[in-house]
Amino acid sequence: MIDTIISRGITDERVIEAMRSVPRHLFVPSEDRRQSYGDYPLPIGFGQTISQPYIVALMTELLELRPGNRVLEVGTGSGYQAAILAAIPETTVYSIEIIPELAQQARERLEQLGYAVHGKQGDGYYGWEEHAPYDAIIVTAAAEHVPAPLIAQLAVEGRMVIPVGPPGGYQTLWKFFKRVDGELDAYNMGGVAFVPFTGAGAEKHHGQSGFSGNRAGW
């Protein structure tokens, strides 16, 4: 797995070491553990997946984490991405999961393995305002547009990584950088395939204007 992510261009040593140290097989169902370290996603139940290792490493690297950074993850899932973030020294991790069963399973798993992650069950569309602003935000489900609450909770000079696009197909992975004037610089990082962003927030704001893959979407 490590050889694969390095061969595909991951260079941040902190990310590589986190990927090396976190036992991925403990974050997948027992029947799939033989496949844990293959470079592809695996099902974790409730229509959700654990992302392929390369995508986990890429999204983590794109956050450009620095010592003392506070990170918000939207979509805890199995807890694997949260564990990778928590394994990077001097990083404080907050994570939200909308599916109660997955939130509970992830909380127990992360606690048992000793990863310091502040988690809660809730609708990630609205972020976690109580602990904002965040130096980095990572979203692990494909949104129709970038949720306005997440933009508001991103600190100045903060980085957000999020897949944007329609459900049921390929989306675009975007990296955003929040400038001092509050505007966002957008960087297209290529095509990806994620499970769709769900919840009342996404449903309520369906069709709302917002960044949806081009500058004109603002």
Decide if 136 contacts 159 (C-beta within 8 A).
yes
- The residue annotated as part of the active site, out of 36, 51, 78, 95, is 51
Instruction: Evaluate the omega torsion of the peptide bond into residue 133 and state whether it is cis, within 30 degrees of 0.
Output: yes
Task: Classify the phi-psi angles of 151: left when phi > 0, otherwise alpha if psi is within -120 to 50, otherwise beta.
Answer: alpha
In the annotation, is 21 catalytic? no
| DSSP letter assigned to residue 199 | S
Decide if 134 contacts 94 (C-beta within 8 A).
yes
Give the whole-angstrom CA distance, residue 94 versus residue 137.
9
Residues serving a catalytic function are 51
